[in-house]
Amino acid sequence: MLRLRSAVFRAVAPPSRVLACRFSAAPIPAPNTQPEVHYNKLFINNQWQDAESGKTFPTINPATGEVICQVAEADENDVNKAVKAASDAFRLGSPWRRMDASHRGLLLNRLADAIERDAAYLAELETLDNGKPYAVAYSVDLPNVVKCLRYYAGWADKWEGKTIPIDGDYFCYTRHEPVGVCGQIIPVGHLIQQASGSSNLKRVTLELGGKSPNIVLSDANMEDAVEQSHFALFFNQGQCCCAGSRTYVQADIYDEFVERSVERAKRRVVGDPFDMKTEQGPQVDQEQFNKILGYISSGKREGAKLMCGGGVAADRGYFIQPTVFGDVQDNMTIAREEIFGPVMQIFKFKTLEEVLTRANDSKYGLAAAVFTKDIDKANYVSSGLRAGTVWINCYDVFGAQAPFGGYKASGVGRELGQYGLENYTEVKTFSFVLLPQSLKMTVEEISI
Going from N- to C-terminal start, the domains of the chain cover 213-398
pTM for the predicted model, two decimal places: 0.88
Q: Give a three-class secondary structure readout of the chain.
A: CHHHHHHHCCCCCCHHHHHHHHCCCCCCCCCCCCCCCCCCCEEECCEEECCCCCCEEEEECCCCCCEEEEEECCCHHHHHHHHHHHHHHHCCCCHHHHCCHHHHHHHHHHHHHHHHHCHHHHHHHHHHHHCCCHHHHHHHHHHHHHHHHHHHHHHCCCCCCCEECCCCCEEEEEEEEECCCCCCCCCCHHHHHHHHHHCCCCCCCEECCCCCEEEECCCCCHHHHHHHHHHHHHHHHHCCCCCCCEEEEEHHHHHHHHHHHHHHHHHCCECCCCCCCCCECCCCCHHHHHHHHHHHHHHHHCCCEEEECCCECCCCCCCECCEEEECCCCCCHHHHCCCCCCEEEEEEECCHHHHHHHHHCCCEECEEEEECCCHHHHHHHHHHCCCCEEEECCCCCCCCCCCECCEECCEECCECHHHHHHCCEEEEEEEEECCCHHHHHHHHHHHC
Catalytic residue among 207, 227, 279, 338: 207
CATH topology for 213-398?
Answer: Aldehyde Dehydrogenase; Chain A, domain 2 (3.40.309)
Annotation says 207 is catalytic: yes
What are 324-353's pLDDT values in tens digits?
Answer: 999 999 999 999 999 999 999 999 999 999
What are 278-302's pLDDT values in tens digits?
Answer: 999 999 999 999 999 999 999 999 9
Instruction: Say what the pLDDT of residue 202 is.
Output: 74
Instruction: Say what the pLDDT of residue 439 is.
Output: 54
Which parts of the chain sit beneath pLDDT 50?
A: 1-23, 443
